[in-house]
Structures are given as C-alpha cells and as structure tokens.
Amino acid sequence: MTKKKEQEEPEEKTAPEENQEEIKTKTYNLRNTSELIELFQENDDDLFINTSISNHLRNLAKIHKVDDYKIAFLYDDNSSISRYHSNQIYEGVSDSDEKSDIFLVIHSGGGQIEPAYLISKTCQRLKKETFVVAIPRRAKSAATLISLGADEIHMGLMSELGPIDPQIGGYPALGLSNALNTLADLACRFPDSADMFAKYLTDNLNIKDLGYFERVSESASQYAERLLEGKKFKQPQTAQNLADHFVNHYKDHGFVIDVDEAKSLLGSSVIKQDSKEYNFANEVYTFFDFVDFLYNFFKKKEFSFVGNIASGLRTKDLKK
C-alpha cells in the first residue's frame, strides 16, 4: 500500500517590507467646510492639523497670486499686541538671507505702541522694495500704527482702521486732561462749586499721572510721524498733521476709519481697494475665524496666528 501524500499547507506570501510600513494619510480640501470640520473631528495629532493649515495657506497664496511675497500674519483676537508679537513677526520675516517684498495680514484690536512701532519699522527695513499690509476686518489702535508704516494698505468695505490714542487701564490717556478741562469749565460756570472740585482733585489725582498720560500720547504721535515720513501726500497733508489727526482728532477709541476716509487722508497711492492682496487676506480671515471656532469647540483651545506660514500657529487652553 502506498501512503497517502499529506497535503502541504500553502506557503504564506510575505509582502515587501516597504509595503507593510506604507502609511496612507488622508488629505483634506480645507476650502470645503465639511472637510475642514472632518480634519478636527478625525485627528488628535496637533502637528498634522498645523501642517494641513500651513499647506492650505500656501495653496491660497498661489491661488490669489501673492506667493511672490514673504507673507506674515498678525491674527490675534485674544491678546493685545506685545513684545511677543513683535518677536514673532521679526522671526517670521527674517528667516532667510534673501530679501523679498513683505506682505503682512493684520487682524487685531491693538495693544502696546512700542512693539507695534517695531513691527512696522522692521518690515520696512527688511523688505526688498515694498512692504504692504492687508486688513480684512480691523486693525485698530496700535495695529493702525503698524499699518501707517506700510507702503500700501489694502482694504475692503468691511476693513477698518482706528484712532491711535493710547489706552491706560481701559481709558484713553488723553481723557484725563479732557476731564480736567471739563472740571475747570464747570468751576468757572459755577464758582460756588470750585472748592468742592479742588478738594476732589486733591484727594483723587496724582499730578504725576497727568504728565505721564500726556507724554504717552505725544510719543504715539511721534511714532506715527516717523512711520509716515517719506511718503507723498496730497496738500495740505503732511506726516506731522496726519500723525496728530490719528492720535488726537477722534473722540471715541472705537471710531471706525473706513476705506473711504482712509483714502481721503492717506491718498490712493497708499490705500488700495479690493486688490488681490485684499482678496487673499479676506479669505484667510474667513478661514482663520472658522478655525478659531473649531479649536474652541473640538480642542478647547484658543487660536492665533502670528508669524510666517510655517511657524505662526499658536494655541493655548481656554480659560475656565
């Protein structure tokens, strides 16, 4: 009898090692709202989300044909302009030895005057030929000061600049001297109340504060004048009277200086309307605004973008 030949198990075929280790990464079209939401829903890897956002910004720059600029962003709805912001912008626009025209997208409610001045001055010094700013929505107070140093300010119908009057403790520095003038006028009109006003001021006012507040306002005007020097304006406008106008003319810190008023003050050689730079900035604003919401909702984090495309994204935990 012959032994029945045992059936042999088929050999398991081993795939090449490189195929075993192959990682397929999903790509997202971040111009599509649904896919942008999916990016946050499906990924816990912050680095992957950051890289996806940076790649999207590069793609938008190509679409809007502004990729020949060195692009930086000052988008921060959570913090006032500070030394952190000036350092980030400096690192963002000085990251290579080769000079390029500089394009800064600004969305900010303002902040400290000194770092704002340094941001504008730095961009002017490091540019190849042109330093341009685009304001998709608001560049108020110290952010307006940054804008005044640009060769061009690109705006649209929803864009706004604002007065540069410095704020101390949430109140305008010029408000103290204005209040004193009001009290003096009341004392003249009602002489019997003069002693009451004098006692109130003696008890509540440090005379050193008055001098300090006035000097802060004067320094804001000086910084604005320095940034405006060298630009050509229609008569009778000069760098000096424009600086004084932006610091002292407006009675409300939140006053809206829209594209039409900005053009009447600075001229059409500086104020550019509905350009490719503005269109890029406007789409970036819409994108950042929604990304901020998604970080809040899915990650419980605040979002800001300060610096260049590669390194500007920052998040921090929401305050409880």
pLDDT digits (tens, 9 = 90+) for 92-141: 999 888 899 999 999 999 999 999 999 999 999 999 999 999 999 999 99
Write the DSSP string, the chain: -PPPPPPPPPPPPPPPHHHHT--------TTSHHHHHHHHHH---HHHHHHHHHHHHHHHHHHTT-TTSEEEEEEESSS-B-HHHHHHHHHHHSSSSS---EEEEEEE--B-HHHHHHHHHHHHHH-SS-EEEEESSEE-THHHHHHHTSSEEEE-TT-EE-----EETTEETTHHHHHHHHHHHHHHH-GGGHHHHHHHHHHH--HHHHHHHHHHHHHHHHHHHHHHTT----TT--HHHHHHIIIII-S-TT--B-HHHHHHHH-TTTEEES-HHHHHHHHHHHHHHHHHHHIIIII-EEEEEEEETTT-EEEEEPP-
In this structure, is residue 19 part of a structural domain?
no
CATH code, domain carrying 273:
3.90.226.10
In this structure, is residue 189 part of a structural domain?
yes
In this structure, is residue 15 part of a structural domain?
no
In this structure, is residue 258 part of a structural domain?
yes
How many domains, the chain?
1
In this structure, is residue 24 part of a structural domain?
no
pTM above 0.85, yes or no: no
Task: Tell me: pLDDT of 19 over 50.
Answer: no
In this structure, is residue 3 part of a structural domain?
no
CA–CA distance, 274 with 283 (Å, rounded to integer): 12
In this structure, is residue 99 part of a structural domain?
yes
pLDDT of residue 215: 62
In this structure, is residue 249 part of a structural domain?
yes
Q: Please, what is the end-to-end C-alpha distance for the chain in angstroms?
A: 85
Mean pLDDT of 168-187: 54
Give bridge partners of residue 315 from the DSSP assignment: 303
Q: Which domain holds residue 281?
A: 30-317
